[in-house]
Structure 1
């Protein structure tokens, strides 16, 4: 199944340039504005409390005015594939039906919620998390091809456990069908759309990337997996389907096989031709490193005594955790924060596709958002700032001079490896949020 899109170009008259609070349509679904919460790790698990946890995480953004809220990576299979502790699985019909209060709560505030579908492949916990590997010794690791040399070297050094099962052609079709079945379950539960995690080193990126994909069958063309995945979803639901797609322009020196910015633009064009309803182009690396969350080295998080046991469990010992911390420090030097770091890439894509382009990564001020809309993108998303300000949209939509309180310190992200919730723990940031709350900055007309 293929879909023809009709997204009219923005008028050249500057008076008609879209504003953040203007509505936008994605795959036939009208969003009340162009601000979205990007997928984050809600650490909601897969149990009787999951719906309540997800609702408490996602509802504040919708109540504060976000047009779209993206639920973080949900794993399409019942075993394996989790890239971090606490991820939610959506393989079971009855369980997913029980998530209906989440879209109900978001919709009650006028927002819409998409769920991000994921499988970690060679980024999964069975590869990098020592404690998880020990508890699940027989769990298969899924790989697109034989692992590349840097991962095999890390295995020999004992830093990773790389002993995967390379997917056969039939198994690839089965995996795509699992994405489709998960999308159908979520649509039946009331979710308004589906977001395919095609970046951040999950298995979809591993199909797309020449660093990982050295197959000799039809899926040697990584875009072929997008086609099959799309068809599997469309067999089960017509809900809007969007994809985050990668450029691997921050790959370390010496990695010759990787996705260039030109490759990313071509992938976005192909996704639009296939029928995806929007694309989110992002630049990163071939590894799961600081280029995903650019900013400061999270020194406070690595030094926090509360998380040391969790780090030791994740990385195999306290001294190995210190090695990971050192590598994190080195990466941070190469992955310094850049405002709106995907803007140029998104602008190139927007010139070539007729579907909405979603920009995320390093957007922190309303004034910058107003400049980007209609130029580089059609929607603007933020991630980590929501850890600091769950009701951030209220400020951004109301104040043309608003800027987030997030300091890009990344102390919210690293503890997630230890199984801890992703929340802001930076005292100065929390103090500023408290001041703003006392001044009523997070109140909306809906709640007045």
Structure 2
């Protein structure tokens, strides 16, 4: 089996080990530009031993932001992204950019432009109607992905992670409950998968072998009408057969419909409601609103069983994600045939965790999975257990 701490390759990229800092929105780009605070955020795990740190939610278009305090990849953001990539390389790690279009997860009121989805639907974030994307929209957005990929290569990024999960735009097309279309983009899974496969092909054709191209996909969306594990296996097999990607990162849940399916552990309802606008805050106090943050018991590597089904179905490298805190769990992932392990909350609590686990076989992370980090994305993502006050940008 692979040694999780030994040097590895991902496509054309040489890595010092098989650990990945997963993309978690940093909340450190209030003007849509790279800041010193954003660089420092990623320098923590980079200096702490990870193979790759992933910059979250780099939007390909203005309406593709989750909200206005987010970077849109373009000439205006190139200098900052280059500075960020250089800093991570100097720390000995590789840098990935999570490239995406938020689709129905975007707050159209914050962005100043209506959100897009596979089908028309109300937005609980903006209290507006989300527009159904036209074929012209999808052609333009595919070009936006290509343009973003081209610029991130110029900035010196090593890995491009295409966001195909969590009810973002591509994921909204995959989910039959969100995609009620009757045209070539709806109906069968083959039709619903068309946008993701089209984007992956276009990006690969643009960047060739200059960088690694991966995708974040769902093992299950966790809501009625979402992507099931059976469909996830079939979709992964399609992407594998296409040959456009160097790896898949296996995630789950829906930022719009069921976020706790991804996080597991405690549900910080009161803390999350306190960060919301008054109308949304009121809605979260209703029975329906309280049910939005469901409670799922935490267990380490909680996506493992579903991810193993994908491991059996594809030959391409896979990244296992989902509450990985211990060296023994990382080694089990290698024994299971996974090629990389991705960590989020554990590294937020302890940026140097990878180095500590590498030097001590008995060590484990100290994250308690209270999930109170989730609401901090609006004031600078952090572990409130150790950093209770908002950061100053």
Compute the TM-score of the two structures, normalised by the length of structure 1: 0.78
Match of 1:45 in 2: 29
Q: In 1, Cα distance between the equivalents of 2:32 and 2:141? A: 26
Match of 2:316 in 1: 355
- Cα gap change, 1:273 to 1:167, in 2 (>3 Å): same
- Deviation for aligned residue 1:229: 0.6
2:294 matches 1:319? no
- Deviation for aligned residue 1:49: 5.8
Contact persistence 1:21–1:32 (CA under 8 A): yes
Partner SS for 1:100:
helix
Q: In 2, Cα distance between the equivalents of 1:165 and 1:332? A: 28
Match of 1:290 in 2: 260
Match of 2:207 in 1: 237
Partner SS for 2:162:
strand
- Deviation for aligned residue 1:299: 5.9
Match of 1:177 in 2: 143
Partner SS for 1:401:
coil
Contact persistence 1:36–1:382 (CA under 8 A): yes
- Deviation for aligned residue 1:327: 3.6
Q: In 1, Cα distance between the equivalents of 2:132 and 2:221? A: 26
- Deviation for aligned residue 1:65: 1.3
Contact persistence 1:37–1:69 (CA under 8 A): yes
Contact persistence 2:324–2:346 (CA under 8 A): no
- Cα gap change, 1:38 to 1:426, in 2 (>3 Å): same
Q: In 1, Cα distance between the equivalents of 2:170 and 2:12? A: 25
- Cα gap change, 1:357 to 1:69, in 2 (>3 Å): same
Partner SS for 1:280:
strand
Deviations 1:48-91 (Å, cap 9, x if unpaired)?
Answer: 861423211111211121111111111111x223225632221x
Match of 1:122 in 2: 104
Match of 2:391 in 1: none
- Cα gap change, 1:401 to 1:188, in 2 (>3 Å): same
Q: In 1, Cα distance between the equivalents of 2:240 and 2:332? A: 25
2:361 matches 1:400? yes
Match of 1:391 in 2: 352
Question: Aligned match of 1:269 in 237, 241, 265?
Answer: 237
Contact persistence 1:20–1:397 (CA under 8 A): no
- Cα gap change, 1:180 to 1:330, in 2 (>3 Å): closer
Q: In 2, Cα distance between the equivalents of 1:330 and 1:390? A: 30
2:293 matches 1:331? yes
Partner SS for 1:316:
helix
- Cα gap change, 1:183 to 1:331, in 2 (>3 Å): same
Contact persistence 1:264–1:281 (CA under 8 A): no
2:344 matches 1:410? no
- Deviation for aligned residue 1:367: 1.1
- Deviation for aligned residue 1:409: 0.2
Q: In 2, Cα distance between the equivalents of 1:247 and 1:354? A: 16
Q: In 2, Cα distance between the equivalents of 1:235 and 1:193? A: 15
Q: In 1, Cα distance between the equivalents of 2:203 and 2:161? A: 11
Structure 2, unaligned runs of 5 or more: 389-393
Aligned 1:113-192 pairs, distance under 5 A: 113-126=95-108, 133=109, 139-147=113-121, 152=122, 161-192=127-158
Q: In 2, Cα distance between the equivalents of 1:377 and 1:42? A: 27
- Deviation for aligned residue 1:32: 1.4
Contact persistence 1:140–1:164 (CA under 8 A): yes
Contact persistence 1:282–1:345 (CA under 8 A): no
Give the CA RMSD over aligned residues: 2.5
Match of 1:420 in 2: 379
Partner SS for 1:98:
helix
Match of 1:10 in 2: none
Partner SS for 1:99:
helix
User: Which stretch of structure 1 is more off in the superposition, 44-53 or 345-354?
Assistant: 44-53
- Deviation for aligned residue 1:377: 1.2
Structure 1, unaligned runs of 5 or more: 1-16, 127-132, 431-448
Match of 1:250 in 2: 222
Q: In 1, Cα distance between the equivalents of 2:292 and 2:207? A: 44
- Deviation for aligned residue 1:283: 3.1
- Deviation for aligned residue 1:190: 0.3
Contact persistence 1:81–1:125 (CA under 8 A): no
Compute the TM-score of the two structures, normalised by the length of structure 2: 0.88
- Deviation for aligned residue 1:276: 0.9
Q: In 1, Cα distance between the equivalents of 2:222 and 2:197? A: 26
- Cα gap change, 1:48 to 1:321, in 2 (>3 Å): closer
Question: Aligned match of 2:72 in 89, 108, 118?
Answer: 89
Partner SS for 2:218:
strand
- Deviation for aligned residue 1:332: 3.4
